[in-house]
Amino acid sequence: MKKHKMSKLPSRSRKVKILAIETSCDETAGAVLIGNPHSAKPDYRFLSSVVKSQIAIHKKTGGVVPEVAARAHMTSIMPVVNKTLVDAKAKLTDMDYIAVTSGPGLVVSLIVGTEFAKGLSMATGKPLLPTNHMEGHLYSAFSLHPEKIKFPVLSIIVSGGHTMLVLMRNYKDYKVIGSTVDDAAGEAFDKIARLLKLPYPGGPEISKLALRGKTDLNFPRPMMSAANYDFSFSGLKTAVLYYIDKKTKNGKVALYTQDKADIAMSFQNAVVDVLTTKALRACKQYKCKTVALSGGVAANRPLRESLSRVCQAEKINFIVPDFELCTDNAQMIALAAYFRLYNKGKAVLPARVKADPAWEIH
Ligand code: KG4
Ligand code: ZN
């Protein structure tokens, strides 16, 4: 077998271009970042970002069917990467690195992006940066207002598959100090949406409906007072389920629209309350100077407002990505790959990279 040779790495003073690819779940995405990984302070900007959503496809089944998602990635990946390069006014050969999400996520979805990126790396000799999806969310909060970042940072990552509190001492050292013991925050939003017969994806539908809520039903706040930074959302989901069963006489009568709105608002209030309370407590214990919110659920307006309010009261900086950068995209993957280089991390030969659905951060 012919030995793969990586092209020469750029000199220390030069800016590098990173092409990033993301296919870990149900968005096919590409982005190009230009930045200097050797500068004293992080120095980067984005040249393009393309996201091809599969929402219309998965709406029909009310959720993501992994094989259907993988097939859609296969159809979209080439046009998405092409458009990413065209929008960046660049060619593949202008890139210095190729970054790809290789975990965690749906294995069949991850394989499409990972194998595609390996092919590009093999064909061009460009070094590969396998990137962790959760690190992508973690660093996505730094995409705006880098001047507001003062360490230690308490990072709250709330997505469809994860809920984590991460303590960041600097751009490199981070430690997960709490996570969910059962359902993730986004997963809970999606499950409650299904109970209320709302379309997929449930999170944005719940927050839309919650705007019309009038009465807070005081759902439980599981683990809010526990002496740790872990979360549990499945108990909250069960409490909502029991409430709905009682109200509908076990499905014999339908819920009024106002009942649904009250349930959505009360559920959302409980999630926001638990996340805000525990994050603030962690912030105080670790004397954090910045709170960073990221992940799909970071698009939730009441959650953003609640954290922003408490941070303002406590004189802590608050950073959150733009709405469209909260849900999955490749800009966050490019940024995590940039920080890997900034933190003196190395690229990898394509033959050593494989999709790893269980690649967790610690
Ligand atoms: O980060 P993400 O795009 O994918 C994963 O890595 O999981 O997060 C998707 C999750 C879904 O559960 C979705 O319902 C939730 O984020 N989400 C929201 C909102 N927008 C998306 N949850 C609450 N409020 C929103 N506005
Ligand atoms: Zn995600």
295 lines ligand 1 (CB under 6 A): yes
- For 280-309, what is each residue's pLDDT tens digit? 999 999 999 999 999 999 999 999 999 999
CA distance 190 to 63: 9
Ligand 1 nearest atom to the CA of residue 27, by list position = 3
CA distance 326 to 295: 5
Q: Kindly provide the residue ranges of all beta strands, DSSP E only, lying in 162-219, ordered along the sequence.
A: 163-168, 174-179
Ligand 1: which of 132, 135, 297, 301 to mutate, judged by most atoms within 8 Å of the beta carbon? 297
Cβ atoms 340, 348 nearer than 8 A: no
pLDDT band at 7 (very low <50, low <70, confident <90, very high): low
Whether the predicted pLDDT of 8 surpasses 70: no
3-state secondary structure of 297: helix
Span from the CA of 295 to the centroid of ligand 2 (angstroms): 6
Whether the predicted pLDDT of 1 surpasses 80: no
Taking the CA of 325 as reference, the closest ligand is 1
Taking the CA of 299 as reference, the closest ligand is 1
290 lines ligand 1 (CB under 6 A): no
- For 147-190, what is each residue's pLDDT tens digit? 789 999 999 999 999 999 999 999 999 999 999 999 999 999 99
CA distance 34 to 89: 12
- For 57-94, what is each residue's pLDDT tens digit? 999 998 899 999 999 999 999 999 999 999 999 999 99
Span from the CA of 204 to the centroid of ligand 2 (angstroms): 15
The residue type of 329 is: N
* Torsional class of 51: left (φ above 0), alpha (ψ -120 to 50), beta (otherwise): beta
* pTM of model > 0.85: yes
297 lines ligand 1 (CB under 6 A): yes
178 lines ligand 1 (CB under 6 A): no
Taking the CA of 296 as reference, the closest ligand is 1
CA distance 248 to 210: 19
Measuring from atom 7 of ligand 1, which residue has the nearest CA? 160
pLDDT band at 311 (very low <50, low <70, confident <90, very high): very high
302 lines ligand 1 (CB under 6 A): no
Whether the predicted pLDDT of 4 surpasses 90: no
Ligand 1: which of 53, 159, 332 to mutate, judged by most atoms within 8 Å of the beta carbon? 159
Span from the CA of 201 to the centroid of ligand 1 (angstroms): 8
222 lines ligand 1 (CB under 6 A): no
pLDDT of 12 reads 67
Taking the CA of 321 as reference, the closest ligand is 1
CA torsion 180-267-207-184 (nearest 10°) is: 10
Q: For residue 281, which phi and psi values (nearest 5 degrees)?
A: -65, -45
Span from the CA of 355 to the centroid of ligand 1 (angstroms): 22
- For 240-266, what is each residue's pLDDT tens digit? 999 999 999 998 999 999 999 999 999
The per-residue pLDDT of the chain, averaged, comes to 95
Ligand 1 nearest atom to the CA of residue 201, by list position = 14
Measuring from atom 3 of ligand 1, which residue has the nearest CA? 327
Taking the CA of 158 as reference, the closest ligand is 1
213 lines ligand 1 (CB under 6 A): no
pLDDT of 251 reads 87
pLDDT band at 31 (very low <50, low <70, confident <90, very high): very high
Cβ atoms 133, 24 nearer than 8 A: yes
Cα 183 to Cα 88, 124, 215, 222: the distances in Å are 38, 41, 25, 12
pLDDT of 14 reads 85
CA distance 20 to 9: 17
136 lines ligand 1 (CB under 6 A): no
Cα 161 to Cα 146, 179, 297, 323: the distances in Å are 27, 11, 11, 18
Span from the CA of 321 to the centroid of ligand 1 (angstroms): 13
Instruction: Give Dmax (Cα) for the chain.
Output: 70
